[in-house]
Amino acid sequence: MQEFKNESERQYDYMEQMKLWVSKKSKEKGSPLTCHVTTFGCQMNEKDSEKLLGILETMGYQEVDTEEADLLLYNTCTVRENANTKLYGHLGQVKKMKEKNPQMIIGLCGCMMQEPHVIEKIRASYRFVDLIFGTHNIFKLAELLKARVDSGSMIVDIWKDTSHIVEDLPSDRKFSFKCGVNIMYGCNNFCSYCIVPYVRGRERSRKPEDIIKEIKQVVSEGVKEVMLLGQNVNSYGKTLENPMTFAQLLKEVEKIEGLERIRFMTPHPKDLSDELIQVMAESKKVCSHMHLPMQSGSSRLLKEMNRHYTKEQYLALAQKIKDQIPGVSFTTDIIVGFPGETEEDFEDTLDVVRKVGFDSAYTYVYSKRTGTPAASMENQVDKDVIKKRFDRLLALLKETSAKNCKKKVGATEKVLIEEMNSHEEGMVTGRLENNLLVHFKGCREQIGSMVNVKITEEKGFYYMGEQVNG
């Protein structure tokens, strides 16, 4: 039996074996085998999908932008119920495609697959699915596909947890000029509404030298902006043999030549350090944008949510960040309708939104997730009440966002051009340091470059501008 130095070498061997199979099937078909990866959920899922696509392309599959492909992979999310519902809707459509093309391979992976009741449902009601794996073993895609084509039966490979990190594998980046880089996996926080620790497992950090090596590599390929990814980046380094703080890691990443911008998601208010604030304040590359999930402004509900901070502590932290990083952009996550939320609790949330003046927010209606403590809490809030509160919150956020946007009108800002504007010919869309978009005249050749743009008009959640020299 062949000996391998490490897991990635072993997986490359499976990719080579599958490359022969894909080549054979492509000849039989008379055209290349195609693949399509559909991603639900967060940036970490997006990053995982880039890896999955990289592995598939290494095996010889060609990506297409339709689900009518020879191999279809769904990378699932389970943070909210509608993500589950979406997947089942897609599977209903795919069943008809598979009836037309029995050779089609359908795979499901990601967070939703870590829930035992989901696996049971798929085994019972969606027997046409070929491959099921979870969040801990996406690196095994080639091996699992080989098992599927050899056996001809459904392959299910779910790991409950892992300390394993396998990163040195192909990746097909969505953008050539920016990308996400995983710095850690899992979460130890156990917020009472959140399924993530159950489906992503315990925290484990990547070695700093591996992170730096990956970033240097992507920068050499033209990447100008990286987003450092973790469920709680503040916890980075605690599981390493030689512990290192997240702030120390940022300092090391800053030294990389050619890298122009550093972003990160997601910090937790309970343990955001003074050291991190200082590094951000002094940095030339770390964007002055802080995404700081609040979830609720009610200290009573925050305790029920197991968030480990109060309304007053959140406000004090936000003020400290604003004082030390002038002009910092603030965004947040807010849940409306957590079990037992009263009008007074909701008013506390609105109060924090007014006082902090968020640039924007990801707003969610509370979604009951089986297996979390909040799912069995009494006093689930009436849907009509939630809808009215949600609308009030959005109206207030629109106000705070417009107020902040106005401050930048007339200023000249560095902008990373990301794409051609889909609404108006001759216009491009770029992203400012504060993560908001600006539309201005430009050309396709400029995509991926940094330019200076004078902000001429604010539109609430985005800007209009014009390119300037120098």
Given this model, what pLDDT does residue 310 score?
97
310: helix, coil or strand?
A: coil
* Residue 290 and residue 328 in contact, taking contact as beta carbons nearer than 8 Å: yes
State how far Cα 428 lies from the chain centre: 24
| Contact partners, residue 342, CB within 8 Å, separation at least 6 | none
Given this model, what pLDDT does residue 1 score?
56
* Residue 441 and residue 170 in contact, taking contact as beta carbons nearer than 8 Å: no
Q: 244: which 2 tokens?
A: 């290192």
Strand runs (DSSP E) across 65-208, as ranges? Answer: 71-76, 105-110, 131-133, 155-157, 178-182, 184-185, 204-205
Given this model, what pLDDT does residue 149 score?
94
Strand runs (DSSP E) across 339-378, as ranges? Answer: 360-365
pTM attached to this predicted model: 0.82
CA-CA-CA-CA torsion for 456, 460, 461, 466, nearest 10 degrees? -10
Label the pairing between strands 462-468 and 450-458.
antiparallel
Given this model, what pLDDT does residue 411 score?
93
Residue of 303, 287, 283, 286 lying closest to 295 (CA atoms): 303
Residue of 307, 373, 368 lying closest to 337 (CA atoms): 368
State how far Cα 212 lies from the chain centre: 20
Other Cβ atoms less than 10 A from the Cβ of 418: the count is 16
Half-sphere exposure of 200 (CA within 13 A, CB side): 24
| Contact partners, residue 117, CB within 8 Å, separation at least 6 | 370
Given this model, what pLDDT does residue 159 score?
83
81: helix, coil or strand?
A: helix
CA-CA-CA-CA torsion for 14, 18, 20, 26, nearest 10 degrees? -170
Q: What's the Rg (C-alpha) of the chain?
A: 23
DSSP line for 186-229: ------TT--HHHHH-S-EEPPHHHHHHHHHHHHHTT--EEEEE
Consecutive 10-residue runs of the chain (470 residues): their mean pLDDT? Answer: 79 94 96 95 88 96 94 90 85 90 94 90 94 91 95 89 72 87 89 84 91 95 94 92 95 97 94 96 95 97 96 98 94 96 98 95 89 89 95 95 90 94 90 91 93 92 87
- Cβ burial, residue 159 (10 Å; 0-12/13-18/19+): middle
Given this model, what pLDDT does residue 8 score?
86
Cα angle vertex 32, ends 29, 35, to 5°? 110
